[in-house]
Structure 1
Amino acid sequence: MSNTKYILGSFADPDEMMHGIDKLQANNISIFDCFTPMPIHGIEAKLGVKPSRLPIAAFIFGALGTTLGFSLLFYTMSYDWPMNIGGKPSMPLPNFVPVTFEVTILLCALGMVATFFFRNHLFPGRAPRVMDLRATDDRFIIAIDAQENTDHALIDNLLKDAGAVEVKYNERKYVSYE
């Protein structure tokens, strides 16, 4: 096998890229990923991307925040240092609602930011990973795994017929900004 890892089809128009995806899928060629400078509605369904599981993470972080907020209030107000304030009970549940709500929102937001950075490998000091630098500016890129799809001439012809401005063969997985 060759050292080519990815075949990159560069398009100037998003409609041409969507047409290219249709042509490749009609010929049973699996697409690794698409890189675009702007969101394109419907591309996830066309590529078969599964729905995100981030709502599950948000619920877990929110439940953790609710539990921690209520536990902190219960421990301080009822267990550790109960005080008689105006004859009120030491565990006034309605008074716990605002603090519990705020801790829930805080932990949910911070947890989602941490999950986003972890899931997308956006750690401080890490170089961005992109297939082609023009995908962040004005090009729409279709990346095809060259190891899985061995008929490179067919892929090249399909991409050019669909309106690809350029077809490139990448030997490395990602190109950094350096």
Structure 2
Amino acid sequence: MFLDRFRKPRPARAVLALYDDPDRLLNAAALAKEHGLEGIDAFTPYPVHGLSEALGVKKSWVPYVTLVMGLSGAALGLTFEIWTSAFDWPINVGGKPYISLPAFIPVMFECGVLLGGTMTLAALILACGLPNLKSPILDRNFTNDRFGLYVPEYGPGWNEERILRILSRTGAVDVRVIRV
């Protein structure tokens, strides 16, 4: 499938730690990063300040897509207007110039917003790995009152016992190995 080239391979198993406090989740995420664990993700019922920094989330590439596509849309709109009004269908209206930039600004803006918005949506769909019809439900309490730290099986250095030992020292309510 075309979208598979944009997705990470799904691990066979992972360690999931459940917390009842966001501060413990933040401490556990920082500790997991200190120990060099890769592919860590967190699940929370609401946004937790500082979690992105604790997980080491990289800056997204999606805003650059928005900028480039928005400017491209504006340039295409301007090109289309200049081509139609000056070359393809020139009409002399009251002695005004064929290329009147102030009159072209609304169409340039709308074309930039249209292309920038639609390509941002497409980039977000790719970045999120959608449609993901095989995503397992890890724990139903993530949308209610629990916080989760997810450590997938990535790389040859993944050691289940070591990860269980690290996460059980962080004050987790439950630490378990799951099959994904």
| Fold conserved between structures, TM > 0.5 | yes
TM-score (norm 1): 0.81
Equivalent in 63, 68, 77 of residue 60 of structure 1: 68
Aligned to 1:175: none
CA drift of 1:160 comes to 3.0
1:28-107 paired onto structure 2 within 5 Å: 28-31=35-38, 32-107=40-115
Residue 7 of structure 2: aligned partner:
none
Matched with 1:138 is 145
The separation in 1 between residues aligned to 2:135 and 2:92, in whole angstroms, is 57
Counting aligned pairs with the same residue, the percent is: 31
How many residues align? The count is 167
CA shift, 1:8, in A, is: 0.4
Report whether the alignment pairs 1:119 with 2:147. no
1:149 aligns with 2:158: yes
Moved more, 3-12 or 63-72: 3-12
User: What is the RMSD of the two structures over their aligned residues, measured on CA atoms?
Assistant: 2.3
Amino acid at match of 2:81: L
Structure 1 residues 92, 164: CA separation in 2 closer, same or farther (over 3 Å shift)? Answer: same
Amino acid paired to 1:142? L
Q: Give per-residue Cα distances to partners, 1:20-39, cap 9 Å, x unaligned.
A: 2233344x251522222222
Separation in structure 1 between the aligned mates of residue 43 and residue 52 of structure 2, nearest angstrom: 12
TM-score, scaled relative to structure 2: 0.80
* AA matched with 1:141: G
Runs of 5+ unmatched residues, structure 1: 173-178
Find runs of 4+ consecutive structure 1 residues off by over 4 angstroms.
Answer: 127-130
